Structure 1
Amino acid sequence: MPASTRLAQAIVIGLTVAPTAVLAGTFDYTLYGGIEHSNNIALSSDRPLSENVLTPGGTFQFTQLGSTFQANVAGTFEHRKYLENHFDSQTQTQFGAQANWTIAPERLDFSVEDYAGVQPVDQLSADSPDNQQQTNVIVLGPTLRMRFGDAARGQFELRYINSYASKVDEFDSSRGMAAFRVYRDLSPTDQLSGNVEFQRVGFTHQPSTADYDRKEAFVRYTSTLAHFDADVLVGGTRLSFDQGRSTSAPVVRLQVGWQPTLRNALTVAGAYQYADAAQDLITTPGAYGAGLTADRAEAIDPFANTGGLGRGATGTGIGVGSAVIGSEVYKERRLEATWNWRGERLTMTVSPALNKLSYLDDPTFDQTGRGLSVGIGYRLNPTLTLSGFATYDRVTYDTLSRKDNTVRLGLDLGKQINRHWSWHASVARERRTSDAVGQSYREAEFFIGVVYRR
């Protein structure tokens, strides 16, 4: 196991098991377990395998905002035991962690970030259990802070970044990043910053010609109001490859949130940028990574998230992403939105998404993706809730003349027994139609399980 992965696990374990008296933070967790049945566990077009899966797992969230230590750690862990032995057992983890130690107040900090998730081995194949892998990206290093008067300040950052995938070696990389930033407070709620970044990217298992330098300069505006928030970044990126080629493009990243009433909330996020799989998993401003499925960890009740994208909505807390795990750089165009409405008994979520990836060297994975998810929950009585979801994803591969259309529908019935315990029963159907031979399939899933919430 790489040293960076062991370090990431040690950080998360340390945060989750440390006594709250020492860390003085807030720690919440959920434990769950159940049985899932699939009539086509391998998502085969012509040879369906029936399988029962035991799925114990849990979610956790740790938050601390202290004078010397600040942290926000949230994630899910799960063990999948295939009772018919069609596949080997799997233990999967999905989390996002940010921690900061203040060594010298207003002078020197040391920060650690870690992003772990489950991604496909081969994006052109279905998300069967043998087409999944664990990925991890860790970012750590010091920050030197300085002040230029009452309203302006600066900081110099040094970061070491390591990316690792359990099956695809081309993803493994070590990166060094240096950045200088100057911040100006426009008001108590608005801030403007100028940023210059330099990053050296070296791949562990690739020829040295794949290595490159990334230079980026941008301005960033943030605003945090009672019912509106915005994070907008505009600038430019230049990539210089060791093979002698250079290319430049604008960079734009944004996330805007609006809550006009207590019942309504709207979030819009997007990006236009050069990225690779590791870079995108770090810098994506919204809730999604390089594809249309959720890649970032969220501490959620795994059974209540029936409106989420991706497989696993009927019982598992970990969804499989759709990033093309490898070393190639692509130009990414992405736009997504999420609208939430919450009433006394009825809740609704609608989330459209659009993205386009254009690879610089190998156009095999050039693609355009469109997606829409709708989730509805209705509280039948104070302790019984019925939820339903529908998702539609369409991915077009430009050079392969291939289109994949995936529709997923599901229902979940949840009963709150008391403050800590609840049970859930779920059913879902998924259908994919594809131009590629052997990639169309149908699947039905059933799940029943219990949840313990701290």
Structure 2
Amino acid sequence: MPASTRLARAIVIGLASAPTMAFAGTFDYTLYAGLEHSNNIALSSDQPISENIFTPGATFQFTQLGSTFQANVAGTFEYRRYLENHFDPQTQTQLAAQANWTAIPERLDFSLEDYAGVQPVDQLSADSPDNQQQTNVIVVGPTLRMRFGDAARGQVELRYIDSYASKVDEFDSSRGLAAFRVFRDLNPTDTLSGNVEFQRVNFDKQPSSANYDRKEAYLRYTSNLAHFDADILLGGTRLNFDEGRNATSPLARIQIGWQPTTQNSLSVAGTYQYADAAQDIITTPGLLAANGATADRAEALDPFANTGGLGRGTSTGIGVGSAVIGSDVYKEKRFEASWVWQQPRLSVTVSPSYSQLRYLTDDTFDQTAKGVSAGVGYRLKPTLTLTGFGTYERTKYDSFDRKDSTVRLGLDLGQQWNRHWSWHASVARERRTSDAVGQSYRETEFFVGVVYRR
């Protein structure tokens, strides 16, 4: 068992067995199973392989806001069985978990965060089943809190961070983080904070010259209103590598959500920072988080509710990410937006995105990506919904003049039989055009599945 998995399991068991905690939160789950057919499962340009895949799985969500224990945990577990035996069976996990235990009220907390997902082994190759790996980043440690009057407070954080990938050893690392923060409440909804952080990064399977210190100082402003929320972070970063190199950069992370009416919502998120893959997994703002306050809980638990945005599989509740898994540090520029319009029978979602990565040492993966996804849902009957979805992404690799353009279109028909049971049937067509030899492909997928919701 990987060290990070053992550590995560030990911490979870320890928190669960703590005698001062009372787990009285809300726990919901779904169980699902489906059958998928692909006419090109390996995404080959000239030798397509037809395959049928059986995919049982489960999703869950746990929340608790108690006086001594707070938690927000959401995850998906899935088993993929390739019935024609062209690939070995796969078990995949996706998890986003934050938990906090108050050991001494207003003085001492212990926190745990865990981020598990599926990422490509080689980003330059197509997203076939043998080009996927499990990743995990765990963050754990104490927080010492203090008061400076009625409106100001401070805290000192110590964190241990462990990152692990099942196939790419260069991603594995151990990190120590120390941070000092001072918060000032401007009014009941707005807060301003000053933050200083120091992080030591040691890679487990890399030369010691790849290790570095990360120093950051920034101001952060947060606002939470009934129809508007903002999280704006501005500052700077300095990196000191053991090999003697130094690098500095401005730091910005912005996340804004606006709901002008009950039918309309808009979210934008962006970053400008130095990062590596593990740092990015922890800190990059995401639109799901921005929309979390208004998201429908039942929809969040439905593994097929957002088929168009979950990755290449129509059946899966787990999407394959696009991170370059490794140890290299890069300068990242990223922007995402999402507009959602909902009526009793009709809903529309449009999400554009832009990202640029520039690596400090090896420019092989220097890239610029632009994309947009859209979905339209129409309720044919009170329990029957037809959804059309489409995505377009264009990625340009600057160091060797390669361009990849990927288009995915599909339809999903879903019906809610009763409070617990529903079914889905989907079809999707994906096409990639690439300058690289052997990286263009076409694929058609069909899927049928059932869902049981608690």
Q: Same fold (TM over 0.5)?
A: yes
- Give the structure-2-normalised TM-score: 0.95
Corresponding position of 2:31:
31
Shift of 1:288: 8.1
1:317 maps onto 2:317 in alignment:
yes
**In structure 2, the residue corresponding to 1:23 is in which secondary structure?**
coil
Counterparts in 2 of 1:16 and 1:86: CA distance versus 1, 3 Å: farther
- What's 1:450 paired with? 450
- Matched residue SS, 1:391: strand
Match of 2:5, SS state, is helix
Do the aligned partners of 1:406 and 1:431 also contact (CA within 8 Å) in 2?
yes
Q: Secondary structure at the match of 2:361?
A: coil
**Counterpart of 2:42?**
42
TM-score by length of 1: 0.95
2-side partners of 1:283 and 1:324: how far apart?
A: 16
Distance in 2 between the 1:364 and 1:159 partners?
A: 32
2:373 corresponds to which residue? 373
> How is 1:198-213 mapped onto 2 (pairs within 5 angstroms)?
198-213=198-213
8 Å CA contact 1:59–1:299 kept in 2: the answer is no
Residues 107 and 146 in structure 1, CA contact (< 8 A), matched pair in contact too: yes
Q: Which amino acid aligns with 1:159?
A: R
**Is the CA contact (8 Å cut-off) linking 1:146 and 1:154 kept in structure 2?**
yes
Q: Aligned equivalents of 1:17 and 1:143: distance in 2?
A: 20
Aligned 1:100-111 pairs, distance under 5 A: 100-111=100-111
Which residue number in structure 1 is paired with residue 269 of structure 2? 269
- The whole-number CA distance in structure 2 between the counterparts of 1:79 and 1:316 is 10
What is the Cα deviation at residue 4 of structure 1?
2.1
Q: Is the 8 A contact 2:287 2:336 kept in 1?
A: no
The answer for the alignment partner of 1:97 in structure 2 is 97
Match of 1:169 in 2: 169
Look up the match of 1:179.
179
Q: Give the equivalent residue in structure 2 for 1:54.
A: 54
Once residues 156 and 304 of structure 1 are traced to their aligned partners in structure 2, the CA distance between those partners, rounded to angstroms, is 40
Q: Give unmatched runs, 5+ long, in structure 1.
A: 290-297
Deviation at 1:6, TM superposition (A): 2.3
* Residues 135-189 of structure 1: CA deviation (Å, up to 9, x unaligned): 0000000000000000000000000000000000000000000000000000000
Matched, 1:232 2:239: no
Q: Secondary structure at the match of 2:130?
A: helix
Shift of 1:357: 0.2
CA distance in 2, matches of 1:429, 1:304: 18
Counterparts of 2:255 and 2:31, CA distance in 1: 32
Compare 299-308 and 276-285 and name the one that shifted more.
Answer: 299-308
| 1: CA distance, partners of 2:95 / 2:10 | 13
Q: What is the root-mean-square deviation of aligned Cα atoms in Å?
A: 1.8
TM-superposed deviation, 1:306: 2.3
Find runs of 4+ consecutive structure 1 residues off by over 6 angstroms. Answer: 12-18
For residue 311 of structure 1, report the CA deviation from its aligned partner: 1.3
**Alignment: residue pair count:** 443
CA contact (8 A) 2:310 2:317 kept: no
- Counterpart contact for 1:36–1:446, Cα < 8 Å: yes
Deviation at 1:356, TM superposition (A): 0.2
Matched, 1:222 2:204: no
Amino acid at match of 2:247: T
The gaps in structure 2 that reach 5 residues or longer are 290-298
In the alignment, the residues of structure 2 paired with residue 8 and residue 409 of structure 1 have an alpha-carbon distance, to the nearest angstrom, of 38
What letter corresponds to residue 300 of structure 1 in structure 2? L
Aligned residue in 2 for 1:4: 4
> Distance between the aligned counterparts of 1:310 and 1:355, measured in 2?
18
Cα distance in 2 for partners of 1:203, 1:242 equals 12
Partner of 2:296: none
- 1:120 is aligned to 2:140: no
Quote the residue 1:292 is aligned against. Answer: none
Q: CA deviation at 1:22?
A: 4.3
Separation of aligned partners in 1, 2:428 and 2:12: 33
Contact kept? 2:22, 2:69, Cα under 8 Å = no
Following superposition, the deviation at residue 415 of structure 1 comes to 1.1
Q: 1:388 aligned to 2:388?
A: yes
CA contact (8 A) 2:97 2:113 kept: yes
